[in-house]
Structure 1
Amino acid sequence: MGRSSGGQVCLSRIEVFGAYLMPSGAWARGIVFMAAAIWVALAFILGVPVDKLWLKYVGVIAALVVLLLLAFDVFAWRWLPEWIVKRPNIRGTWRAELRSNWLKDDGQPLVSECFIVIHQTYTTMCVEVLFPGSDSTSTSADIVKGGGRPSLWYTYRSEAHAPNRDGNPPHRGAVSLFVETSPRRSLAGDYWTERGTTGRIQTSGHSKKIAGSFMSAQSLDYAS
């Protein structure tokens, strides 16, 4: 990450019995087809004639199915235990400290305050890391489990603000953050950049609110 880093990542997926499905046009059409098939099957089982009025409600059923899936995707999944949804809820703003092997002008390694902002639904996740002089955009991300402990992996592209670009050109890198759940929830891990710098990131507090800038993140209240 060098002087600054972060990422915004968006990855869509749904886990069904251990398999991950990527929502797409075909996926959406499949939902509509299944709703129609179920509706027609119920009509035959109940002995109800399948006329135009009956078929008209197929669209209603399909719309309800989509709305229920969207409700689950956006917020309802957070109410279920993690052992059911298989995804930790890490949404919000995390106060963090970055320690880099990049050396400042005085020859000391860089230590910087930063804020990790995570926009999360069940099927998508976007991550930003806010510094006072840079913006970042991630290119990929995923939550994976290794040894039973979940971790957030993502790649990113970082670009400094115009007044801070001298000596800090855009760069790419990768981040791996373990999601600790006990005794308190926190994120901790390492990063690497194409410039040859590496470092460590450790969070020290979490807010459920989503910060839109470094200054707004500084003004939030954080639970340790």
Structure 2
Amino acid sequence: MVDQLWNGVRQRVAALGAHSASGQAFGSLGHRWVLEDPLADDALAELEAQVGVRLPEDYRDFLTCVGAGGAGPAYGLFPVRRVQGRWRWEGDGADLADLSMLAQPFPDHGPDPELLGALLAERPEEEDFEEIEDFDDAIEAWDERWDAVMFAPERTAGAIVISHLGCALREWLIVSGTHRGTIWSDCRADDADLVPLLDDGGRPVTFARWYTAWLEAAELTAQQQPGTT
């Protein structure tokens, strides 16, 4: 099954990187079509021992068969690296994940919608203030209240950040709980809660589908470039 899923993926990514139009793909200037080396089995075992959880199967297989990170959706797949004896994911916003909470189940529900609605209704508007300094103070205080709810560590327990889409928008891989193995979109920078990515049939997107769909779309785009057969 592993061979069927990931066999040849490194070669396909390398071929895209060599394509004349490779630089036109969104995010490619970030990852430059480079994949890091795969993890050895003992390195994966050490990683999982440190974070206290077995990673989703398709992601584990990707790490050992394809690479520890690099080329992937948006600006790339955040690499997992061993730094001074400790494993961690690296990338813009990767530190939002509390690695000490990965074994805890990702919550089935986010913050109370009524609470969020009430907070949004109280958000200060610049036109309501005569002095910009007063507005700045008010919005800073409101942001602190919002962040205390939306960015509380327990909101993303059991999950890791794996990709950055720009403008503080990110995607998470759930590693524990009922949503284990699925990808969630994080638009909290736009005052929205995390939501699961869904395919055309309304089914949650797994890591494998997330990555292979990106790869297939990138290959199709390359094939459609002028002069490509």
**TM-score with structure 2 length normalisation?**
0.29
The structure with the largest alpha-carbon Rg is: 1
Larger RCO: Structure 1 or Structure 2 (Cα < 8 Å, ≥ 6 residues apart)?
Answer: 1
**TM-score with structure 1 length normalisation?**
0.30
Higher strand share: 1
Higher helix share: 2
